[in-house]
């Protein structure tokens, strides 16, 4: 994680700003004026002027003025260096080494408060380069006093100072000069800088303290900013982990459809690899979202994105049937406008949930309920038919005896009863297959969703495996007023017939024709040209039919199938009629067939 932070924190060397200082005889030429620089440097100049009042080494004289320049240069270098980085460890090391250089200390430490306890974060010892790995011993009583009071402490000669000479740390470490300066943001103490020497010369002086206090002032702000950066970076890392581990796909794009971010779930939903994606960043050519979408789906995706961008309102498709070119998925998509993206501009957040398994389970539940209902219906039907069969059976048995006894009148009655009950059975079974008596549950429904839901189920069936489907649905169509189950039943019947017509054409072809033929079914939905009406076209390139057959296909009990009952298309016509619609057919032998269904929209109801 540190490597990532370092990449984000842009650093530069102060040596690029300060070249080698050339010694000039004219002292005035060495004076640096900061009146026209930024506020930070002006504050440094003011502090140095204050220091010079009490500092012997800042008095006039060529050598002393050189020392003044070096002090100022060191403070300015530190200010520039620490404010050009957001990496906390780098800032601490820069401050530590410069503090030691300024006062010629042997050891230096930076401690930061963590849960009101001082913890070592940087260490430097000119006699030991192990840093924080060494066993650190300092005057903890002085450090604690500074951390508590917020007041700096400097001691030029602790061995001779009665106030400090008896301290255990002074005696055991043979300390002579000690300096401890708080790191403060406004009046809040965040840590301290601790310096010491175990040799008498050079001693720490009052001007040294003022310089280190100036350094501490600059360092405290840089340390605080770096700490905030660390905290924000950790939050960012945490949020990225949460987003990446979310089961819901999340994609952020700008107004040019360029991808800003994308989590793993979204990649799985559209079946792409992270290596295929280049995110929006300076100097990069970002991937456009639409370039990841299959050609057959691009128009729909562009429509959804454009609606959300132009209206600045959320857009939702709770059941989007998505063809990945490999398989069919059902996605729940919500698109929400968002402002102030990274690198500027507005864009969209897409949340994508793969609900394929959920839809499949729903269909299994519905199927189970239907099977239960059919079981109950079968039981009821069986009971009713058994009543008729019991009467027929009894009369047949009596009829046999009456014929043996030559009781023709009774035998004739028995035969009448048998014929009558057979007729009742036929009316009963015909009535069961008569869709005209079904009640319709009309509701406004999106025709695209209705078709997508049906195809999602049918495409998995073996009879459609070799069929190429093409779907064209006019955008922004009004909802239709339909009984969903009944209209899906009509479309399913037409699609079954198309698949069988394609199979028949394949069987009738010779080997050469068969090698180039591709069975195709096209479903097209558009406005019919009439007010509040749409037309659904189901067209195949199957075997087609003659005019003679075409004239009879909607008649009850007419069939060209060996095992058919001839009620499929008759019931389709009845259902469409019950919906105040119309169904038509055009067909030619060897050219395929097209059924058109005209239905009213919800506005017409």
- Cβ atoms of 110 and 89 closer than 8 Å: no
Residue 263 neighbours by CB distance under 10 Å: 22
d(CA 29, CA 6): 39
- Cβ atoms of 141 and 169 closer than 8 Å: yes
pLDDT at site 18? 30
Which of 36-50, 117-131, 140-154, 480-494 has the least mean pLDDT? 36-50
d(CA 114, CA 116): 5
d(CA 218, CA 82): 8
pLDDT at site 463? 83
Question: Which residue intervals of the chain bear CATH 3.30.450.20?
Answer: 247-354
The predicted model scores a pTM of: 0.56
d(CA 519, CA 509): 12
Per-residue confidence band for 136, with pLDDT thresholds at 50, 70 and 90: confident
The first and second tokens of residue 136, run together, are 């650190």
Per-residue confidence band for 236, with pLDDT thresholds at 50, 70 and 90: confident
CATH value of 247-354 in 3.30.70.260, 3.30.1780.10, 3.30.450.20, 2.30.30.110: 3.30.450.20
DSSP one-letter string for 519-580: -EEEEEEEE-SSTTEEEEEEEE-S----HHHHHHTTSTT--SSSS--S-HHHHHHHHHHHTT
pLDDT at site 373? 60
CATH value of 443-604 in 3.30.565.10, 3.30.420.40, 3.40.50.720, 3.20.20.70: 3.30.565.10
- Distance spanning both ends of the chain, measured CA to CA: 63
pLDDT at 48 over 60: no
Higher pLDDT, 588 or 359: 588
pLDDT at site 195? 94
- Cβ atoms of 104 and 37 closer than 8 Å: no
- Structural fold of domain 2-232: Beta-Lactamase (3.30.450)
Q: Give the pLDDT confidence of 454-482 residue by residue, as tens digits.
A: 888 788 778 888 899 999 999 888 999 99
- Cβ atoms of 534 and 525 closer than 8 Å: yes
Which residues 6+ apart lie within 8 Å of 115 measured at CB? Answer: none
Residue 407 neighbours by CB distance under 10 Å: 15
As a three-state string, the secondary structure of 434-467 is CHHHCCCCCEEECHHHHHHHHHHHHCCCHHHCCC
Higher pLDDT, 381 or 444: 444
Burial label, 75 (beta-carbon count in 10 A; 0-12, 13-18, 19+):
buried
Per-residue confidence band for 431, with pLDDT thresholds at 50, 70 and 90: low
- Cβ atoms of 593 and 549 closer than 8 Å: no
Higher pLDDT, 494 or 463: 494
Q: Give the pLDDT confidence of 246-283 residue by residue, as tens digits.
A: 889 999 999 999 999 999 999 988 888 888 899 998 88
pLDDT at site 56? 47
pLDDT at site 420? 80
- Cβ atoms of 124 and 52 closer than 8 Å: no
The first and second tokens of residue 293, run together, are 């979408």
pLDDT at site 63? 46
Which of 188-197, 246-255, 378-387 has the least mean pLDDT? 378-387
Residue 245 neighbours by CB distance under 10 Å: 10
Which of 5-9, 103-107, 259-263, 314-318 has the least mean pLDDT? 5-9
Question: Which residue intervals of the chain bear CATH 3.30.565.10?
Answer: 443-604
Question: Which residue intervals of the chain bear CATH 3.30.450.40?
Answer: 2-232
pLDDT at 66 over 70: no
- Cβ atoms of 605 and 483 closer than 8 Å: no
Torsion-angle region of 186 (φ positive above 0: left; ψ -120 to 50: alpha; else: beta): left
pLDDT at site 604? 65
* Mean pLDDT over each residue of the chain, to the nearest integer: 81
Which residues 6+ apart lie within 8 Å of 308 measured at CB? Answer: 314, 315, 335, 336, 337, 348
pLDDT at site 533? 92
pLDDT at 54 over 70: no
pLDDT at 384 over 90: no
Per-residue confidence band for 45, with pLDDT thresholds at 50, 70 and 90: low
Task: Work out the percent of the chain whose per-residue pLDDT is above 90.
Answer: 29
Which of 15-19, 63-67, 552-556 has the least mean pLDDT? 15-19
pLDDT at site 365? 62
The first and second tokens of residue 185, run together, are 């943001």
Per-residue confidence band for 366, with pLDDT thresholds at 50, 70 and 90: low
């Amino acid at each position: 994680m540190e490597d990532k932070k370092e990449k984000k924190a842009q650093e530069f060397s102060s040596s690029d700003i300060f070249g080698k200082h050339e010694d000039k005889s004219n002292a005035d030429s060495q004076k640096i004026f900061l009146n026209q620089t930024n506020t930070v440097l002006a504050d440094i100049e003011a502090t140095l002027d204050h220091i010079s009042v009490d500092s012997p080494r800042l008095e006039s004289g060529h050598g002393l003025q050189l020392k003044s320049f070096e002090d100022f240069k060191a403070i300015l270098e530190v200010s520039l260096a620490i404010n050009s980085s957001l990496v906390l460890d780098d800032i601490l090391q820069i401050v530590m080494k410069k503090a030691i250089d300024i006062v010629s200390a042997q050891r230096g430490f930076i401690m930061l408060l963590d849960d009101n306890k001082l913890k070592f974060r940087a260490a430097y010892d000119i006699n030991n380069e192990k840093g924080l790995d060494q066993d650190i011993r300092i005057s903890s009583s002085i450090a604690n006093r500074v951390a508590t009071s917020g007041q700096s402490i400097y001691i030029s000669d602790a061995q001779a100072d009665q106030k400090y000479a008896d301290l255990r740390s002074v005696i055991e470490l043979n300390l002579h000069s000690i300096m401890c300066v708080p790191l403060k943001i406004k009046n809040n103490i965040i840590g301290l800088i601790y310096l010491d020497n175990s040799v008498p010369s050079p001693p720490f002086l009052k001007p040294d303290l003022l310089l280190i206090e100036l350094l501490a002032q600059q360092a405290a702000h840089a340390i605080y900013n770096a700490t905030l950066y660390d905290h924000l970076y950790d939050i960012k890392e945490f949020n990225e982990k949460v987003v990446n581990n979310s089961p819901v796909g999340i994609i952020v794009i700008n107004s040019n459809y360029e991808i800003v971010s994308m989590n793993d779930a979204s990649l799985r939903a559209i079946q792409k690899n992270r290596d295929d994606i280049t995110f929006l960043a300076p100097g990069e050519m970002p991937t456009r979202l639409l370039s990841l979408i299959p050609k057959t789906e691009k128009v729909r995706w562009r429509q959804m994105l454009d609606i959300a961008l132009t209206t600045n309102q959320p857009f939702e498709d709770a059941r989007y049937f998505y063809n990945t070119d490999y398989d069919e998925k059902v996605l729940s998509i919500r698109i929400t406008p968002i402002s102030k993206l990274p690198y500027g501009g507005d864009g969209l957040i897409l949340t994508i949930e793969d609900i394929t398994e959920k839809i499949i389970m729903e269909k299994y539940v519905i199927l189970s309920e239907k099977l239960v209902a059919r079981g109950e219906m079968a039981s009821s039907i069986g009971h009713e038919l058994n009543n008729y069969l019991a009467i027929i059976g009894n009369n047949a048995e009596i009829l046999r005896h009456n014929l043996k006894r030559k009781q023709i009148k009774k035998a004739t009655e028995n035969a009448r009863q048998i014929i009558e009950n057979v007729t009742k059975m036929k009316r009963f079974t015909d009535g069961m297959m008569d869709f005209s008596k079904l009640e319709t549950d009309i509701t406004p429904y999106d025709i695209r969703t209705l078709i997508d839901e049906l195809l999602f189920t049918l495409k998995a069936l073996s009879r459609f495996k070799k069929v190429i489907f093409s779907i064209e649905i006019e955008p922004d169509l009004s909802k239709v007023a339909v009984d969903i189950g009944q209209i899906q039943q009509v479309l399913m019947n037409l699609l079954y017939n198309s698949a069988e017509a394609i199979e028949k054409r394949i069987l009738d072809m010779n080997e050469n024709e068969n090698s180039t033929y591709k069975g195709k079914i096209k479903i097209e939905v558009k406005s019919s040209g009439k007010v509040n009406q749409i037309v659904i076209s189901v067209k195949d390139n199957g075997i087609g039919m003659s005019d003679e057959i075409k004239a009879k296909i909607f008649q009850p009990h007419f069939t060209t199938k060996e095992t058919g009952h001839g009620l499929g298309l008759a019931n389709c016509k009845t259902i469409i009629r019950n919906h105040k619609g119309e169904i038509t057919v055009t067909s030619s032998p060897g050219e395929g067939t097209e059924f058109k269904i005209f239905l009213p929209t919800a506005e017409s109801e």
